[in-house]
Structure 1
């Protein structure tokens, strides 16, 4: 009982997103989503707070941006033969959002605040699918607050840094391989809010010519830690209740990995801007998932399972063409490597290599008010895995996502 329970429990705290490698979201700006989510090597307006704080110092006006997307993700599952049972996750619409504000102290010094959601998703498999002992439902939320300062050293070089203050929470539910006296299967729910955690975002922006610009950005690792989270059991048979005591709490840590990005921008004409970004995400920080319980659960106060994520690369390309002073058209694409090794696939992170295609449009109603609309389509490679190293659910997973978004910009 003890070993089987912990095999089921391992890996439940970190949710997969059907839209990015691991459990990232990567939807930080509607304008930049339209350009394949590039932005480190170009001026992106107020969203430079996220993409490269060094470029924020080049903003000509003060500004505020408010934007959000609506994620419609689809994750399908097929069990191994001979059963070959199928299931599809019933996912809620995710609503990642971003708010940015920038104010100029003088011509060289700018300050700003960004609020955005770089990690988080929700997956609902239900309580009847064949992998219900692995997962029924999970919600992960992380919100970053980033006060930022940027300084233009010269006409060609800008530097910037932002303090990241992160908050979040998690809720997961799953079925236990136990039956109560009335035939109901046992249930487990883990629910907790993370302590405030800290990190930073730093960038350098270099524009050697009017047509060429280069940027480097580093977003540090942030560790979200849940302490005294609630462990809730349901429909536990009387004979097993001593192994699943009421009032149990848990502690666990969620690593939000660091990202290093190099970006290049090129403007062959005044109307056309091209951008390329290459990122390395240090997923190797996620070596294992450990739960510490306040009292023995299934005979032990500790559960730890290996994850052994690998560092992964993301390659992005995008462009913007200004049809007129008011209208801009955008398009982009990217390839996002999965950090999940063979043998470690789980229903919370049914991850595989991702390909994304995007399009967008920007329209300025006045000199002070403009809107950005975007649409992103993501197709993840179908992946079959034995999940023999992670305590996950063996089988084949396939994920896609459709993400429209809208942002409004105000200048003053």
Structure 2
């Protein structure tokens, strides 16, 4: 039996799902920007300069505290409704196994998974120059599900990533027009992945009288970890109604630990030993993010804003898996992601003292190179179109709503299987992806 059987590749794909869970129509890679309803309304234009004027900007720039008046608590709930369809998918087995077609469905109605994404913020004024804040967010992840009988099932069925990020922040007004700030990130990551395993093809490759595809099994991997990082930023206000922000969110390294479990393993001693349930580790690192934002009040009722964000996705060069089964060496999967940019422009109009209307557009670049795209990460460039509104219900309570429709470029997956490398025994696969997403965010701010 070949040295690198699908177990190694299943584990590699599991860690890949952790660091790059497919998010059709979401922010590029596996970043979740949806942390503010007031920011959602402008496609997050100006968030680094706190164009919203509330504590939700803490997610984008800790120095945003400088533009928060008094004390406030903010709760946000974003509903994310992706639509991602696989069309014209064709799977065939490696030529050395006869090259026959892989049975199953070629078109998936929707692999996206609807999700509710909560976040919470707190800002408190210690003195005119010192403020403290707390952000509780979920900056990375989401889920996708393919039918268990789709033709690419050996490449992946379920992928999910959940994160929890707790960031206490302190800001200081260094000069009358300049606020600096920093924070510490405490981040928990949890992931799960499943895929089919073609035990029939593995046995056939050894010369056994077994047909490829005749003995499908299932593999599942779960893992979790706590990691730590930092945030830093500044907010410059050269004139009343004009602000510029610069922020940095550090990378966070996770040493994910968990278990690999398999079902349907044939009763062959060597196979049972190779696919025994085992403990697994994978070191993964989230990217650094640098953001720059601008906000300017053209009149007392009308403001324009912009944001530029650079994400250091090129950290994701490879994926290396270590596992306790002594029959396996490290599994290495090449990813070679590129750094990516996000550009947003927006505007806000104050209808009266209680009601504000917002709109914005954005371009979101994918980090995935065409030759490395997989069914687990069918990522493509995206275009955002957003509207929103804020209303002052009482002197102390304000509510905001934001809506975005994201258009995603059509992407293609083309993978080859020659019984070696990362796709060994998964089969050749070609597929086309069409995706979009609708996002509705609600927010309530209580000032005190």
1:75 and 2:84 equivalent? yes
Quick one: distance in 1 between partners of 2:90 and 2:280?
36
Look up the SS of the partner of 1:118 in the other structure.
Answer: coil
Partner of 1:293 in structure 2? 323
Q: Distance in 2 between matches of 1:160 and 1:145?
A: 16
Structure 2 residue corresponding to 1:172, chosen from 184, 190, 193? 193
Q: Shift of the alpha carbon at 1:27?
A: 0.8
Output aligned runs, 1:250-329, within 5 Å: 250-296=280-326, 299-329=327-357
Q: Which moved more, 1:77-86 or 1:117-126?
A: 77-86
Aligned to 1:34: 41
Match of 1:230 among 250, 259, 281: 259
Which residue is 2:222 aligned to?
191
Given that 1:323 and 1:329 are in contact with CA atoms closer than 8 Å, whether structure 2 keeps it comes out as yes
Determine if contact 1:343/1:390 at 8 Å carries over to the other structure: no
Contact between 2:80 and 2:438, CA under 8 Å: does it hold in 1?
A: yes
- Separation in 2, partners of 1:362, 1:177: 53
Partner of residue 64, structure 1: 73
Give the structure 2 partner of residue 94 of structure 1: 115
From 20, 23, 26, the counterpart of 1:17: 23
Deviations 1:292-329 (A, max 9, x none): 11014xx4232110001111111011121111111111
Query: How many Å separate the matches in 1 of 2:57 and 2:384?
Result: 22
TM-score (norm 2): 0.86
Structure 1 residues 340, 399: CA separation in 2 closer, same or farther (over 3 Å shift)? same
Superimposed CA distance per residue, residues 181-225 of structure 1 (whole angstroms, 9 cap, x where no aligned partner): 9x652110001221x211111111111122422110111111222
Structure of greater Rg: 2
Q: Is this contact kept in 2: 1:12–1:135, CA < 8 A?
A: no
How far apart are the structure 2 equivalents of 1:4 and 1:356?
A: 42
Counterpart for residue 94 of structure 2: none
**Is the 2:22–2:159 contact (alpha carbons within 8 Å) kept by the matching residues of 1?**
no
Shift of 1:90: 4.0
Larger mean Cα displacement after TM superposition, 140-149 or 154-163 = 154-163
Q: Where in structure 1 are there 5+ consecutive unaligned residues?
A: none
Asked if the contact 2:4–2:328 (Cα under 8 Å) also holds between the matched residues in 1, the reply is: no
Partner of 1:52: 61
Structure 1 residue corresponding to 2:273, chosen from 237, 242, 251 = 242
Question: What is the DSSP-based 3-state SS (H/G/I as helix, E as strand, rest coil) of the residue aligned with 2:138?
Answer: strand
Q: CA deviation at 1:72?
A: 1.1
More strand by share: 1
SS in 2 for 1:119: coil
Instruction: Give deviations 1:321-368, integer Å, cap 9, x for gaps.
Output: 111111111111111111001211112211010111111111111110
What SS is found at the alignment partner of 2:55? helix
Inter-partner Cα distance in structure 2 for 1:300 and 1:390 = 14
d(CA) in 2 for partners of 1:9, 1:282? 25
Residue of structure 1 equivalent to 2:95: none
Q: Is residue 166–residue 224 contact of structure 1 (8 Å, CA) maintained in 2? A: no
For 1:340 and 1:117, the matched residues in 2 are separated by 22
Which ranges in structure 2 are unaligned for 5 or more consecutive residues? 92-100, 204-209
Query: Residue deviations 1:136-185, cap 9 Å, x none?
Result: 1011011110000011122211111111110010011110001599x652
Distance apart, 1:92 and its partner CA: 3.0
Paired with 1:263 and 1:156, the residues of 2 have a C-alpha distance of 16
Q: CA, structure 1 residues 238+198, in 2 after alignment: closer, same or farther (shift >3 Å)? A: same
**8 Å contact kept, 1:58–1:152:** no
In the comparison of the two structures, how many residue pairs are matched? 407
1:403 aligns with 2:439: yes
Normalized against structure 1, the TM-score is what?
0.93
Alignment match, 2:160: 139
1:101-112 mapped onto 2 (5 Å cutoff): 101-112=122-133
**Contact 1:42 1:275 survives alignment (8 Å):** no
Compared with structure 1, are the counterparts of its residues 206 and 21 closer, same or farther at alpha carbon in structure 2 (3 Å cutoff)? same
Q: Secondary structure at the match of 2:14?
A: coil
Q: Distance in 2 between matches of 1:92 and 1:395?
A: 19
Measured in 2, the distance between the counterparts of 1:11 and 1:310 equals 19
